[in-house]
Amino acid sequence: METLNGIDIQPKEELNFDEMAEDDANSNGDDDDTADTAWFPIKISDLDNFQKVYMAGTDLDADHPGFKDPKYRKRRKLFAEIAICFKQGQTIPRIKYTPEEIETWGKVFNELKRIHDRYASAEYKQNFRELEKEAGYRADNIPQLEDISVYLKKKTGFQIRPVAGYLSPRDFLAGLAFRVFHCTQYIRHSSDPFYTPEPDCVHEIMGHMPMLADPSFAQFSQEIGMASLGASEDDVKKLANCYFFTVEFGLCVENDELKIYGAGLLSSAAELKHVVNGIRAGQICLQKFNVEDVCNTECVVTSYQKRYFFNESIEEAKMELRNLAASIKKPFELRYNPYTQTVQTLSSGGKILDIAKQIKGDVFLIANAIKKIQGNENENDSDVDFDQICQFLDVQKM
Ligand SMILES: [Fe+2]
């Protein structure tokens, strides 16, 4: 095991989930329902144990643009230390970015913003405007992760956690289960502003953050994460593919036009143009999202994708994902409790009954709300079919 200023960095290859389960036996409290599955976090603070990264910014590949730049490598070490020392619940340290870093950011920001206006989804653009007002999204300012995290918490309950480098798909998806998004804080090397061989803050801030402020998209992201907890390696790979071809490279239909919501495209001007031009010329493979094809499509990380997928809506993608999640073999179902920020195992009749009681309270609330809205003669909510809602929830209109 190598160390970084006294902090242990364990290469991912050495990780052994059985050992981790032993190490973290106490983190599952007295609930032994999960004993037969791969270890997974039960409470949000368990994510502190998931910070095992492939590389921590000190270990750049020889073809990385910053490989021969000692100043850049020293800077990356600082970002790695911040991420590795971070504990759940702490404030994310603010970074004083250098003029060189801000210049790199500004070049990409201006180019991306220009093409987003035309091709990004409506949800993305709406939330981007809010981030400009609330989190300092500007060409001459790299937004602070803490400010974005505060904004996301207000919008969807998502929060950011700084990360030193690549996490395994299992660890990354586990964070989503708790509405925690692992986010890099360093920026790409200034010699090549429009290229990065790894996720950086441009990718995260310009690509991911605006969509995480959308409630439906946030729920979709969390459901992928929940499905991954305790799943086999094969199933985690399928879920990672679903994540990749939606959250990273997904397209959607908006007023009969294709729009983009995937962060990998929204943070790469070159690939975004490749997709747009390819669609116009009929030269890229674009197909409707379906789990079977998505799971059998290779995720390319060093070049453009060979195939892209679109959804009619996020709700449609959710239904596909739920079918996949239902096919994953686990001895119990899991549910997230946002009040305690813990994952509950629905492994007994008593536990299921507790959840049913909570849901009954919500259903009563909905029935009562419908009654009040329909009793208000001034209310003109003709877009909503209340009979359909009642039928869906199997409740009587009052
Ligand atoms: Fe990403």
State the pLDDT confidence band at 59, using cuts at 50, 70 and 90. Answer: confident
Ranking 14-18, 130-134, 151-155, 323-327 by mean pLDDT, the lowest is 14-18
CA distance linking residue 4 with residue 56, whole number of Å: 9
Per the annotation, the verdict on 149 as an active-site residue is: no
Note the pLDDT of residue 12: 34
Of 149, 221, 267, 268, catalytic: 267
Ramachandran region of residue 120, left (φ > 0), alpha (ψ -120 to 50) or beta?
beta
Q: How far is CA 193 from CA 80, 177, 199, in A?
A: 21, 33, 13
CA of 259 to the centre of ligand 1 (A): 18
Q: What is the pLDDT of residues 169-223, one digit of tens each?
A: 999 999 999 999 999 999 998 888 888 888 899 999 999 999 999 999 999 999 9
CA of 244 to the centre of ligand 1 (A): 8
CA of 183 to the centre of ligand 1 (A): 9
Note the pLDDT of residue 218: 96
Mean pLDDT, range 366-393, rounded to an integer: 73
CA of 163 to the centre of ligand 1 (A): 12
CA of 173 to the centre of ligand 1 (A): 12
Give 20 or 361, the one with higher predicted confidence: 361
Of 116, 208, 221, 228, catalytic: 208
CA of 35 to the centre of ligand 1 (A): 32
Mean pLDDT, range 258-284, rounded to an integer: 91
Note the pLDDT of residue 58: 62
CA of 269 to the centre of ligand 1 (A): 15
Note the pLDDT of residue 382: 60
Mean pLDDT, range 366-387, rounded to an integer: 73
State the pLDDT confidence band at 367, using cuts at 50, 70 and 90. Answer: confident
CA of 104 to the centre of ligand 1 (A): 19
Mean pLDDT, range 223-252, rounded to an integer: 94
Mean pLDDT, range 43-49, rounded to an integer: 93
Per the annotation, the verdict on 254 as an active-site residue is: no
pTM: 0.84
User: Does pLDDT of 357 surpass 60?
Assistant: yes
Per the annotation, the verdict on 130 as an active-site residue is: no
Of 204, 248, 271, 320, catalytic: 248
Of 89, 90, 10, 92, the closest CA to residue 51 belongs to 10
Of 64, 116, 189, 203, catalytic: 203
Mean pLDDT, range 355-369, rounded to an integer: 85
Note the pLDDT of residue 32: 56
CA of 5 to the centre of ligand 1 (A): 28
User: How many Cβ atoms sit within 10 Å of the Cβ of residue 256?
Assistant: 5
CA distance linking residue 177 with residue 189, whole number of Å: 32
CA of 356 to the centre of ligand 1 (A): 36
Note the pLDDT of residue 55: 60
Is residue 332 within 8 Å of residue 351, measured between CB atoms? no
Mean pLDDT, range 251-271, rounded to an integer: 93
Per the annotation, the verdict on 267 as an active-site residue is: yes
